[in-house]
């Protein structure tokens, strides 16, 4: 990459670097905040679920307390004189009362403890009569205070992530004496232990959280794609604007050079051209006289030839420094090419070149100054011939694209060294032994004056290609 283009690359990157940084960092922050909010929401949902389950258990205990006292304790006391659940009849009656009361409620297990920590009733009849060690929750219930604890089981990773395989809520509540008319007293007869299985509820919460995470990931991915598209679009706009600025700078530099050159040419053109015209006229007169005395003398011809060459150099200076404005009219580029090929026919034959023409019809007219277009395309064809000193084929292809009418002129020469591709448009740069180095500059001025573009590149396996694109007439532009 040339030194001239390195600042442009930096100019393209720097304006958007901060925007890209904040865009993608903001996206990452949004995603992390979404994950944190999901985790917090899950925690809140779990807390609410536990509170709801505790309230649910307390309501069941209150109802169970009433039903057990009303349907079991009172009738049993009247019939048997005392409550003794080891008696099969009493246990069966108690079991019927409890199960009918808890029917359709999600209760996994239930135990009723006496004040001596003995299991008086259980869903599992084998536990009746078992004396337990008790615990803080059981002792608190015997004092009239209810409490609950969450029991989780599963792998270490499941518990760490907050979604164990099995979750149970164990609630301890006092079994109280109930007076007539349903008023519950503070007298504690025992302790009711209710076990609720919350595994399904927690799995539902887990699935909702996973769904939220997946949805957030998809939305973040979609947002990332959109932002990436916007960033790429922004980069392309920045690059285009940077290219436009660079072109404007180049045009300004060229305009300044042309302005300085125009002043110089204006000041010396008359000083050179007038004596040069006199020299040429005098050489022509001298030639007539010398022809009578010494016909073989080459000096007059040399003077005339060199004067003509010098006049051409001055003309190139004037054409480059003071390019005239085109006078556009309807013009067919293929006709201009045919005239040039006919004009160069002797040179083409002499240099053992052939012209391969490919006109891809239909070809529209363009608005152009035919003489100026003739001059520019003539230069390109002459350059193509000069690039093939041993002869070869010159390809002339004319076709329509979305950008306009495009002309490709291809040769089979040695191409242009890569390190010189950026310099071929510079004034006075030439690789030829003879030449001013203004030919391509004049061609570019003419094409750009018509609103067109020109580019030159090497082609594979050898040779170079000059591509000229001219805008179509408005009525024939493509929609």
Domain ranges of the chain: 6-197, 326-476
| Domain 326-476 of CATH type 3.30.565.10 | yes
User: What would the mean pLDDT of 16-24 be, rounded to a whole number?
Assistant: 67
pLDDT at 232: 78
% of the chain with per-residue pLDDT over 90: 12
Q: Which residues, in sequence order, are bridge partners of residue 110? A: 194
Of 71 and 27, the one with more pLDDT: 71
Quickly tell me which residue has 């008319």 as its tokens.
Answer: 181
Residue 3 has pLDDT above 50, yes or no: no
Q: At what angle do helices 370-386 and 333-343 cross, to 10 degrees?
A: 50
Q: Tell me the C-alpha to C-alpha distance, in Å, between residue 298 and each of 6, 277, 282, 288, 453.
A: 55, 20, 15, 12, 45
DSSP E strand stretches across 54-199? 109-114, 119-122, 147-153, 166-178, 184-197
Q: Give the three-class secondary structure for 188.
A: strand
Where is average pLDDT lowest: 51-65, 245-259, 425-439? 425-439
Paired tokens of 424: 């071929």
What are the b/e assignments for 164-173, b being 16+ CB within 10 Å?
A: beebbbbbbb
> For the residues 47-64, what does the mean pLDDT come to?
84
Residue 270's pLDDT band, with cuts at 50, 70 and 90, is low
Q: Tell me if residue 256 falls in helix, strand or coil.
A: helix
Range among 66-80, 158-172, 439-453 rated most confident:
439-453
- In angstroms, rounded to a whole number, what is the distance separating the alpha carbons of residues 110 and 400? 89
Query: Which of 73-87, 282-296, 424-438, 457-471 has the least mean pLDDT?
Result: 424-438
Q: Which of 456, 467, 471, 465 is closest to 425 using CA atoms?
A: 456
Contact assessment for residue 5 and residue 250, using Cβ atoms and an 8 Å cutoff = no
Q: What percentage of residues in the chain have a pLDDT greater than 70? A: 84
Radius of gyration of the chain (CA): 51
CB atoms within 10 A of CB 315: 15
User: 6-197 in CATH: which number?
Assistant: 3.30.450.20
Question: If pLDDT is split at 50, 70 and 90, which confidence band does 478 have?
Answer: very low
pLDDT at res. 407: 93
Burial bucket for residue 432 (CB in 10 Å: 0-12, 13-18, 19+): exposed
- Tens digit of pLDDT for each residue in 304-314? 777 777 777 67
- How far is Cα 165 from Cα 358, in angstroms, rounded to an integer? 77
- Residue 207: which residues within 8 A CB-CB, separation 6 or more? none
Least confident segment among 187-196, 219-228, 333-342:
219-228
Helix, strand, coil shares of the chain as percentages rounded to 5? Answer: 60, 20, 25
* Band of residue 203 on the pLDDT scale cut at 50, 70, 90: confident
**Which has the minimum average pLDDT: 32-41, 271-280, 449-458?**
271-280
Q: Which of 65-79, 142-156, 339-353, 433-447 has the lowest mean pLDDT?
A: 433-447
pLDDT of residue 476: 47
- Same topology, domains 6-197 and 326-476? Answer is no
Does pLDDT of 111 surpass 80?
Answer: yes
Give the pLDDT confidence of 457-476 residue by residue, as tens digits. Answer: 898 888 899 999 999 876 44
| Closest to 205 measured CA to CA, from 40, 38, 42 | 42
Q: Provide the sign of the torsion angle of the four alpha carbons 156, 161, 166, 172, taken in this order.
A: positive
pLDDT confidence bin for 55, thresholds 50/70/90: confident
**Residue 331 CB coordination number (10 Å):** 18
């Amino acid at each position: 990459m040339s030194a001239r283009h390195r600042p442009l690359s930096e100019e393209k990157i720097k304006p958007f670097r901060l925007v890209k940084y904040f865009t993608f960092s903001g996206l990452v922050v949004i995603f992390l905040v979404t994950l944190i909010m999901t985790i917090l929401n899950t925690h809140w949902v779990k807390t609410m679920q536990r509170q709801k389950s505790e309230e649910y258990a307390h309501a069941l205990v209150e109802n169970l307390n009433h039903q057990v006292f009303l349907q079991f304790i009172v009738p049993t006391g009247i019939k048997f004189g005392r409550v003794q659940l080891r008696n099969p009849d009493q246990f069966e009656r108690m079991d019927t009362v409890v199960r009918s009361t808890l029917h359709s409620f999600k209760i996994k297990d239930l135990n009723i403890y006496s004040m001596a920590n003995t299991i008086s009733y259980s869903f599992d009849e084998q536990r009746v009569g078992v004396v337990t060690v008790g615990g803080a929750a059981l002792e608190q219930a015997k004092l009239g205070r209810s409490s609950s604890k969450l029991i989780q089981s599963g792998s270490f990773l499941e518990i760490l992530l907050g979604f164990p395989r099995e979750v149970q809520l164990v609630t301890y509540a006092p079994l109280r004496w109930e007076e007539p008319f349903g008023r519950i007293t503070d007298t504690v007869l025992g302790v009711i232990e209710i076990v609720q299985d919350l595994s399904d509820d927690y799995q539902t919460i887990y699935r909702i959280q996973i769904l939220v995470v997946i949805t957030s990931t998809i939305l973040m991915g979609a947002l990332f794609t959109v932002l990436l598209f916007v960033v790429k679009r922004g980069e392309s706009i920045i690059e285009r604007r940077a290219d436009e600025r660079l072109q404007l700078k180049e045009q300004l530099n060229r305009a300044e050079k042309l302005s300085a050159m125009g002043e110089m040419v204006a000041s010396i053109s008359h000083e050179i051209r007038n004596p040069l015209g006199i020299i040429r006229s005098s050489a022509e007169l001298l030639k007539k006289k010398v022809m009578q005395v010494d016909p073989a003398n080459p000096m007059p011809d040399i003077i005339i030839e060199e004067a003509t060459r010098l006049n051409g150099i001055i003309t190139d200076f004037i054409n480059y420094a003071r390019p005239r404005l085109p006078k556009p009219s309807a013009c067919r580029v293929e006709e201009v090419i045919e005239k040039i090929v006919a004009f160069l026919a002797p040179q083409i034959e002499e240099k053992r070149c052939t012209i391969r023409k490919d006109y891809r019809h239909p070809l529209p007219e363009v608005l152009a100054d035919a003489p100026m277009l003739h001059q520019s395309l003539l230069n390109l064809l002459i350059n193509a011939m000069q690039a093939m000193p041993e002869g070869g084929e010159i390809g002339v292809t004319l076709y329509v694209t979305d950008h306009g009418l495009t002309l490709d002129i291809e040769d089979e020469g040695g191409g242009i060294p890569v390190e010189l591709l950026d310099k071929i448009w510079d004034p006075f740069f030439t690789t030829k032994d003879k030449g001013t180095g203004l030919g391509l500059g004049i061609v570019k001025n003419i094409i750009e004056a018509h609103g067109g573009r020109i580019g030159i590149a090497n082609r594979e396996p050898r040779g170079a290609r000059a591509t000229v694109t001219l805008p179509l007439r408005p009525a024939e532009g493509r929609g």
